[in-house]
A and B are shown apart, each in its own frame.
Chain A
């Protein structure tokens, strides 16, 4: 986290610069701004996120970063009541918690991001985390958390609580997970097991 703050300070000039157009090099700026803003759209002043992560129709998982160029915004087009427009924008930001999430690992210099939509379940997710961070997480058990490893995967949910990954059904986890944290050492053991 500390390294990110330094990163932010360096980027401050960029943050206040007015620009239009594709995010490009701004990617990291957007990430520090909000962990719930996933799929970047082109115009920085837009609140509505691209809904490209639609279920089975969307095969372009990798395309999220390369959003198509934004159309010029015409006032009042498409002709949708402003009430509907406003409520929809709000909903979109809410419903997108849990797709692209930050993953932090205790002791690592920077965070990573993964798209939860890509994984069908916990085993795939854990395997991906193991690959990404070059570590083993071990087997989940309800009673003892993650045995056989000094790492435990945890996540921050909508209420801000730190939860152990694996307790709730996958779908529910996906929609409530705001960010992931791979905990290490004694802290991990405290979270994981009942012993």
Chain B
């Protein structure tokens, strides 16, 4: 033992660095950096990929000075509930200051991945001008930019490999951004512009695809018609991931035949998505691809109904990931269960947001999937109704869930058969799924479900609660029980000050807490903020102006608190009050 200890003491740093190079997870690297000062030093000089889960937890200058060899930065901005319009526009999460700091510091940034951030055209232009060797831009659920910003990236980043735009709100300036890729650009490996609403220059697109021989992932927007797709596939038969644009054509035409031939030659496609506009009679043309598909996303395809989906799915025996609309029906899910034995992730989205769909799925579909797909570990399921019995069966069939998100379209619906709360069902899930990291609950729920969660969900990191619980006890069970909890988001539930203030130290072990339309008062938030200087406690108050001396007994509409090293942020708008 002594010999070993002294060997570690004299370990050359180059060796340590080499060993650390095998650590890909940022958590492992974080752990390693806590071992001792020399490990901290070696680790920080060798970390190239940096992940920041909350852009307000740390400042860009401090980050860059700790990791001077930073090459790839991942930043997440707004709280998760911003996806559902619960956070007002202009709340924050601007990327510009980060890019400015990166430019000033002289780091060689080649990858930027942003989620739920506000990205202006100016920031994209600054990025593009300052980092000509930039390789990869991934924007997920961001907003604030237009196609002009994309044009700047296209024209300046000469060795761009990846431009991946997922579900962003992008304003179309009709500036022909795609044509701005110079003829010398041949480096693209991945191009995803499915979320763009405007027209694209098809000729420029086809030329781009033709010269980028390494292109493996291409996702088109709705403005790319089927005939253009056909020409593109002829140029790029080596694609691994394809997202179609518009998929409508006369099935008797020459173009359609050519498409079928082109598809036959695309033997590498493993992931298929898009169909942003689709005619059911055209779907059979993709059947030849189905037998090798591991990922299929039809959740944006309008107007394809159960039978057509079933016909398609029957061919997809190797599917590992399936995103689909609830038009698939319980019957369709039964077919998925009997066909897709390798399924790991399933997402069933609602097709009718008002919950009156005749073809919404129920607990039957979920049970069928759990029985047929033993490898299932991640599910997002929007359903018309649920029962405890079904959830108990699912828990027994699938003990391997890492992510379990259930959303009943009516948020407080009870067990469809017994009319009881769904406590026992979710209780079974957390008890059985020992590796559960993420959970969203819905339906009629009392404090009991939270007792179960606190007791059993030992690995839980993220919990989403809406319209659930009866008293502070519920929230307390969770805060006391879930030791690994990182993110807790609660809306419209009767949790108040007692729960909030019971263990204020807990919040420094978490990334963030969101509470809206709960029973928490301004006074309690103030108390929390005073006692915990390393937390930012934000009160978001869109409707009224913040009065000079508001009543401490007033309930707070929206509270968002998060741990931070940099204190209150300087870019908060008027309606955000950091206590």
Contact = CB atoms under 8 A, between A and B. Distances in A.
B358 A52 contact: yes
B354 A70 contact: yes
A78 B306 contact: no
Contact-residue size bin, chain B (C-beta under 8 Å from the other chain): 35 or more
B250 A172 contact: yes
A111 B577 CA distance: 58
Contacts of A74: 411
Contacts of B327: 51, 54
Contacts of A48: 352-354
A152 B430 CA distance: 66
B353 A172 contact: no
Given A48-B353, A78-B350, A172-B250, A57 B306 contact: yes
Interface centre among A41, A82, A85, A171 (most CB of B within 10 A): A82
B49 to A, nearest CB: 26
Contacts of A41: 354
Interface in A51-90: 51-52, 54-58, 60, 67-68, 70-71, 74-88
Nearest to A81: B83
Contacts of B466: 77, 79
B505 interface: no
B302 A91 contact: yes
B85 interface: yes
Nearest to A69: B356
Interface stretch (B64-72, B152-160, B273-281, B455-463): B273-281
Nearest to B352: A51
A56 to B, nearest CB: 6
Contacts of B409: 78
A38 to B, nearest CB: 13
Given A56-B307, A95-B303, A175-B279, A79 B407 contact: yes
B329 A57 contact: yes
Given A91-B302, A94-B302, A78 B85 contact: no
A76 B81 contact: yes
Contact-residue size bin, chain A (C-beta under 8 Å from the other chain): 35 or more
A171 B407 contact: no
Contact of B280 (A46, A81, A171): A171
A7 interface: no
Contact of B141 (A51, A70, A81): A81
A68 B411 CA distance: 18
A54 B491 contact: no
Contact of A172 (B85, B277, B279, B306): B279
A75 B411 CA distance: 12
Interface string B247-288: 010110000000000000000000000001101110000000
B575 interface: no
Contacts of B83: 79, 81-82
Contacts of A68: 356
Interface string A91-117: 110110000000000000000000000
A82 B84 contact: yes
Nearest to A172: B250
Nearest to A49: B352
B84 A55 contact: no
A11 to B, nearest CB: 26
B307 A76 contact: no
Contacts, number: 118
A70 to B, nearest CB: 6
Nearest to A175: B279
Contacts of B141: 81, 83
B168 interface: yes
A54 B332 CA distance: 14
Contacts of A94: 277, 302
Given A57-B329, A175-B279, A80 B353 contact: yes
B351 interface: yes
A83 B354 contact: no
A52 B307 CA distance: 16
B85 A56 contact: no
B523 interface: no
B305 A78 contact: no
Nearest to B410: A71
A8 interface: no
A79 B440 CA distance: 11
Contact of A83 (B81, B168, B350, B440): B168
Contacts of B306: 54-57
A75 B305 contact: no
B9 to A, nearest CB: 51
Contacts of B305: 54-57
A156 interface: no
B124 to A, nearest CB: 19
Nearest to B517: A75
Given A78-B350, A79-B407, A80-B349, A171 B281 contact: yes
Contacts of B350: 78, 80
Contact of B349 (A57, A67, A84): A84
14 contacts: A50-B354, A54-B305, A54-B357, A54-B358, A56-B307, A57-B359, A71-B354, A76-B86, A79-B466, A80-B382, A81-B167, A84-B300, A171-B279, A175-B279
Interface of B: 81, 83-86, 141, 167-169, 195, 248, 250-251, 276-277, 279-281, 299-300, 302-303, 305-308, 327, 329, 349-359, 382, 407, 409-411, 440, 464, 466, 491
